[in-house]
Amino acid sequence: MEVSPFPFFGPLRADQVEGRHELIADLTARISARRVTALLGPRRYGKTSLLRRVAADLGAGGGTVLWFDLYEVQSMADLAIRLDDGMTDVGSEVGATLRKVAIGANLNLGLVRLNLTGPSAQRPDPSAVVHGQLQALIELSKRSPLVLIFDEFSSLASVDGAPGLLRTHLQNHYQEIGLVFAGSEPSMMLGMFTDQNQPFYSQAELIHIEPFSAMEVEEIVTTGFERTGRRSGDIPSRIFALTGGHPQRSMQMADMVWRLTEPGEDATTPTWERAVTSVRSEVAGGLERLFSSFRGPERAVLRIVASGGSIFGSAAVLLDLASGSAQHARDSLLDHGHLRKRDGGPLELTDPLMADWLRETLPA
Ligand SMILES: Nc1ncnc2c1ncn2[C@@H]1O[C@H](COP(=O)(O)OP(=O)(O)OP(=O)(O)O)[C@@H](O)[C@H]1O
Ligand SMILES: [Mg+2]
């Protein structure tokens, strides 16, 4: 079976990352210059994939890059385990150095989970473990150039004392250690770096990851088709018109059109129409479940925005949406990244396929 040139599930391998040339160069330069950076963007915009690529580039340049996935981290003990996972997932040479410094910090590298779930009398204090881990990382940075990537950093906001502990250790070493924080809960993530009461207030330069440009979609789709002996015709612009450059949705559409195009053939208008129908039916169930998880006013706001109306206009009257609840629902949807506002543009749904599904099934 031929492998699709348009993978659209989960983070990509570094070598699968397409486009984003300027952003990759910019991030690599910032990290190399030890400018602490936070990468913000909605779900499925390609943050993890992009950072994997940047990590691979930096690693190839001779640095040590450690990756910490903080997705849904729940507690200090959980954080210690995530840090341990990141610290054990390194090459043999750095691994040996890291084991040495870990012993100095009284740490059992690779055994943190075991230690923290052992008999309560022997269980170490999770904060002390994290303290030791951070000390070990700082020690490591004195021996070889070190970059730390924290993905899903916003999850840390809900662990009492964790951001403060991290900041206390790292702040005196910003010049020596490359630091990147990525996250997708827009308001949570922004708040961690812009709210004066937060430990990381003003501690990082914020970079926003944008949708693909029309040119990027054109380049990605055209080369993917060409590489596999097909021609994409006007499909790139059709994809962009539907997805607005949403990275994962653009790849998903490209994948479906590609599947429906035989090798040696051109994708045509009927191919596009079949692809839209197929993707719509594939995503409908998930979108329906997601949509029904929102509260009433949020559902009304999503419907109105998807149809291009004003949440304070006549559509709101029809849906019985009072202006106070409309405002509140809009803000909450923006906070959680379901809605977004492009520079100077109107409010829109982050997920173009949810907008499409709402227009088709529940126009407002
Ligand atoms: N540069 C890229 N080149 C090709 N595809 C991309 C790129 N960026 C994102 N994608 C598409 O988006 C999908 C999701 O990417 P990724 O998991 O990296 O996003 P994310 O922002 O980390 O998402 P989440 O917030 O869910 O963690 C990928 O499977 C791929 O289809
Ligand atoms: Mg991710």
For residues 236 and 10, what is the distance between their CA atoms, to the nearest angstrom?
22
Nearest atom in ligand 1 to 52's CA = 18
316 lines ligand 1 (CB under 6 A): no
Mutate to test the pocket of ligand 1, among 49, 53, 279, 290 (most ligand atoms within 8 A of CB): 49
pLDDT number for residue 331: 94
The tens digit of pLDDT for each residue in 55-96 reads 999 999 888 999 999 999 999 999 999 999 999 988 777 888
Token pair 């309560």 in the structure block, residue: 120
In short, whether 18's Cβ falls inside 6 Å of ligand 1 is: yes
pLDDT at 48 over 90: yes
Residue 118 Cα, ligand 2 centroid: separation in angstroms? Answer: 31
- pLDDT exceeds 90 at position 353: yes
Give pLDDT, residue 118.
87
* Separation between Cα atoms, residue 305 and residue 330, nearest integer Å: 10
Whether ligand 1 lies within 6 angstroms of the CB of 186 is answered as no
Judge whether 85 and 116 are in contact, CB under 8 Å: no
CA of 136 to the centre of ligand 1 (A): 32
Residue 50 Cα to ligand 1 midpoint, Å, equals 8
Fold of 20-208: Rossmann fold (3.40.50)
Q: How deeply is 4 buried, as exposed, middle or buried, from its count of CB atoms within 10 A (0-12, 13-18, 19+)?
A: middle
Query: Mean pLDDT over residues 161-182, rounded?
Result: 95
| Alpha-carbon gap, residue 355 to 303, rounded angstroms | 8
This prediction's pTM: 0.94
Q: What is the pLDDT of residue 6?
A: 98
Q: Is the CB of 44 under 6 A from ligand 1?
A: yes
Residues with Cβ within 8 Å of 273's Cβ and at least 6 positions away in sequence, in order, are none
| CA dihedral over 314, 320, 324, 328, signed as positive or negative | negative
Q: What is the pLDDT of residues 173-228, one digit of tens each?
A: 999 999 999 998 888 899 999 999 999 999 999 999 999 999 999 999 999 999 99
CA of 151 to the centre of ligand 2 (A): 7
Higher pLDDT, 285 or 62: 285
Could you tell me if the CB of 10 is within 6 A of ligand 1?
Answer: yes
For residue 264, give both structure tokens.
């040696």
CATH code for the structural domain at 295-364? 1.10.10
In tens, the pLDDT along 246-260 reads 999 999 999 999 999
> In the prediction, which pLDDT does 294 show?
98
Tokens of 294: 């929102």
Taking the centre of ligand 2 as the mean of its atom positions, its distance from the CA of residue 41, in whole angstroms, is 10
Query: Of all residues in the chain, what percent carry a pLDDT higher than 90?
Result: 85
| Ligand 1 pocket residue status of 140, Cβ below 6 Å | no
Is 211's C-beta closer than 6 angstroms to any atom of ligand 1?
A: no
Question: Given pLDDT bands bounded at 50, 70 and 90, which one contains residue 105?
Answer: confident
Which bound ligand lies closest to the C-alpha atom of 54?
1
Pocket test for ligand 1, best of 13, 15, 44 (most atoms within 8 A of CB): 44
CA atoms lying within 13 Å on the CB side of residue 212:
28
Q: Are strands 339-341 and 205-208 parallel, antiparallel or unpaired?
A: unpaired
Residue 119 φ/ψ region, left for φ over 0, alpha for ψ in the -120 to 50 degree band, beta for the rest: beta
- Looking from the CA of residue 51, the nearest atom of ligand 1 is 18
pLDDT in tens, 111-153: 999 989 988 888 999 999 999 999 999 999 998 899 999 999 9
- Which pLDDT band, with edges at 50, 70 and 90, does 103 fall under? confident
